Amino acid sequence: MFRFDKTRLDLAREFRANPFGEHSPDLQYLLNIVRAPRPGPFHVLLINEAGQRWTLAMMEPGKPPKSTNVVFTGLAEAEWHIFRERWAALAGEECPLE
């Protein structure tokens, strides 16, 4: 059974390089874990300006999103930021990759 492994930085590098599109089987397994529904707040992106600017927000079922002060000008950047936050939650420590 595939499990989260904080030593698999190769998968984090692969995601950082290519957050959208074809992924290796192991990265796809990992993404299915990091994107698995869990209790508690989950990440959404609020559209500030179409195709240009998005704000990270957290949302709980049944409640409006709560904006953070984290703003992105690219969606790949947003995906990587959120990936790192989830990695840290699963690993119990920061993802060492910037």
* Binding region for another protein (CB under 8 A): 19-23, 28, 31-32, 35-38, 42-47, 49-52, 54, 59, 61-65, 75, 78-79, 82
Least CB distance to another protein at residue 44 (A): 5
Identify the burial level of 96 via C-beta atoms within 10 angstroms of its C-beta, where 0-12 means exposed, 13-18 middle and 19 or more buried: exposed
- If the CB atoms of residues 61 and 92 are measured against another protein, the closer one turns out to be 61
- If the CB atoms of residues 73 and 97 are measured against another protein, the closer one turns out to be 73
Least CB distance to another protein at residue 19 (A): 8
- If the CB atoms of residues 7 and 20 are measured against another protein, the closer one turns out to be 20
d(C-alpha 69, C-alpha 61), whole Å: 21
**CB proximity list for 59: less than 8 A, separation 6 or greater:** 41, 42, 43, 44, 65, 66
Residues linked to residue 59 through DSSP beta bridges, in sequence order: 42
Least CB distance to another protein at residue 47 (A): 4
d(C-alpha 7, C-alpha 93), whole Å: 12
Least CB distance to another protein at residue 92 (A): 22
